[in-house]
Amino acid sequence: MVNDVFVLMPAYNAASTIEKVFARIPAAARERIRRYVVVNDGSTDDTEAALARLRAQFPSLVTLAHPVNRGYGAAEKTLLAYAMEQGADAGIVLHSDGQYSPELIPDLLRPFDEDSADMVQGSRMLGGSALKGRMPLYKFVANKVLTAIENWAFGLDLAEYHSGYMLYSRKAMASIPFPKLSDSFDFDLEMIVMARIKNLRIKEIAIPTIYAGEVSHLKPIQYGLRVLGIVANYKRGKYDRLTAGHTATVC
């Protein structure tokens, strides 16, 4: 069983949702979580006030701050770097908007406990619940089309590449030069690409799809174009070059 589990949470204008996400973390998960780490990524609402209330409830909560919004990928880089520095064995990227289920943290950790994965993705498409969970049809179709292209390009067989519910083992965090990757929403996809290049084991676990009027900061068309750009760059060898000279330091 992995120890030193960290929950890593990017937060941008999450005042109305972040406390609800923490409240949903089950007791079985809380028993295993050594530290909660939140990056307030330049929020302009009352996110900081919500974090102050959470610090009173969760003594192991650490809050970091970007003075200005630097982007989702940049927030993840800050979180992963902190987790590495603090000796985390596993980092769970849990979004602050409530779209991903904290209730499933014990299930998502199981492949690490069994030593059957180095990276785990909570997949909305794997269980067939995407449309039942009110995923907009255009997003469902786009996800399917992009995933088919990505499986062809990367030689994998994943149900999707576009869930942000990601778990990283210490080996994955140490093996991937994540500071060199995107500062935007395509960071998670680039992490999967780098895991493929590093021959890390990727496991998908089905999660429910939850769309309930949350505010999304992702621009679908721009994101889709960036995904195709990653595919093209992979074929050109960009990500192989990024690994050059990077040595994993797993302590």
Per-chain mean pLDDT for the chain: 93
Range of the domain at 128: 5-243
* Residues in a beta bridge with 145: none
Residue-wise DSSP of 120-146: EEEETTTTT-TTTTT--HHHHHHHHHH
pLDDT band of 175, cuts 50, 70, 90: very high
Closest CA to 74 of 251, 221, 247, 217: 217
Q: What is the mean pLDDT of residues 142-165?
A: 95
The pLDDT value recorded for residue 98 is: 92
Confidence check: pLDDT of 101 > 70? yes
What's the domain count of the chain?
A: 1
Amino acid identity, residue 128?
A: G
Is 65 domain-assigned? Answer: yes
Percent with pLDDT over 70 in the chain = 95
The pLDDT value recorded for residue 88 is: 98
pTM over 0.85: yes
Is 249 domain-assigned? Answer: no
Is 248 domain-assigned? Answer: no
Confidence check: pLDDT of 220 > 80? no
CATH number at residue 69: 3.90.550.10
The pLDDT value recorded for residue 250 is: 59
Is 250 domain-assigned? Answer: no
Is 251 domain-assigned? Answer: no
CB atoms within 10 A of CB 208: 16
Is 57 domain-assigned? Answer: yes
Helix axes 72-85, 187-197, angle to 10 degrees: 50
